[in-house]
Chain A
């Protein structure tokens, strides 16, 4: 298995394979996410209806998969998603809780409520990229490279997937970090990339990339 591309979001930067592809000193997480979306020049109005966690996953996946031809090279069932996250959907949970806290002003918002599960972000990425393979959201206090490696690797060993987007996606107020990897079977990746353009999907590479990508990030999940 090979890491054929990786993307990290650690405001004020978004990096692709370690190279800065977007930068904005936005005053808060929401502004940063909107600015990064507009930089991509796509028309996807649903983006603005998402919570910050789904927006973050959507953007990281958008940068990660751009021009990689995933939907052409794999059947929808052959690509999966394994995300890891620290605060689950806590930011949206709190927003929903505030809307139902008082008897006098009891107006829960349906569009907020639908994001009170962390795996909704998987759904948003799946809809956008027509992905129908295995998926999971693993909750962990911080990035757990071993868990990601074991879970993703097992899906390949069981021949359930030929391609997987795997990594960390965390959004809780001003704490916004993501580090996603595109993992593919070597024989499939070889037809698309040169040997020097991919890395072995192994613990040491995952740890090295995570450390580089999130070295200045706050990764203390609240869940």
Chain B
């Protein structure tokens, strides 16, 4: 799990061009949107592409996004759960 969350942090920084953010700056349980990293709706779409491109997971219901992208941990849990299927 920790290996995946660390990998996710690096991928998030890369795909969202978070130039001044290091992986250790991202709290695994902190909110990704709102106050956390200050991400916006385009960033949310970019995270959906990341899941599909890097993990082969397609989010069928966009309403699920709010729960999946709540934090790095929820993203990692979703990946582990859906990659097993």
Contacts and interface: CB of A to CB of B under 8 A. Distances in A.
A is bound by B:
yes
Contacts of A48: 17-20
Across the A-B interface, give the 7 residue pairs with the lowest CB-CB distance, nearest first.
Answer: A110-B45, A48-B19, A48-B17, A107-B53, A49-B17, A111-B42, A111-B46
B38 A45 contact: yes
B49 to A, nearest CB: 6
B1 to A, nearest CB: 26
B39 to A, nearest CB: 10
A45 B36 CA distance: 13
Contact of A109 (B18, B19, B46): B46
Contacts of A34: 19
A49 B43 CA distance: 10
14 contacts: A45-B38, A48-B19, A49-B42, A107-B52, A107-B53, A108-B49, A110-B45, A110-B49, A111-B16, A111-B17, A111-B42, A111-B45, A111-B46, A114-B42
Contacts of B18: 45, 48
Interface residues of A, number: 10
A131 B46 CA distance: 28
Given A45-B38, A114-B42, A109 B49 contact: yes
B49 A45 contact: no
Contacts of B20: 45, 48
B12 to A, nearest CB: 13
A108 B42 CA distance: 12
A34 B45 CA distance: 25
Nearest to B41: A110
Contacts of A107: 49, 52-53
Interface in B6-36: 15-20
Interface string A98-112: 000000000111110
B19 A45 contact: yes
B19 A110 contact: no
Contacts of A114: 42
A34 B20 CA distance: 12
Contacts of A109: 15, 46, 49
Interface in A37-59: 45, 48-49
Interface string B29-73: 000000000100011011001001100000000000000000000
A114 B17 CA distance: 15
A49 B37 CA distance: 13
